[in-house]
Amino acid sequence: MKATVITADKGKLNLRAEPNKQSRVLAQIPYGANLDVEYFDSTWSKTSYKEYTGYVMTKYLSCGNPITKSDLQQIVNSLKATLETIENILK
Domains of the chain, first to last: 2-65 (2.30.30.40)
Instruction: Reply yes or no on whether the pLDDT at 14 is more than 70.
Output: yes
Q: CA–CA distance from 24 to each of 27, 29, 55, 66 (Å)?
A: 9, 14, 10, 28
How high is the pLDDT of residue 65? 62
Give the residue, 18 or 63, on which the prediction is more confident. Answer: 18
Q: Which of 1-5, 12-16, 55-59 has the lowest mean pLDDT?
A: 1-5
pTM: 0.69
Instruction: Reply yes or no on whether the pLDDT at 67 is more than 70.
Output: no
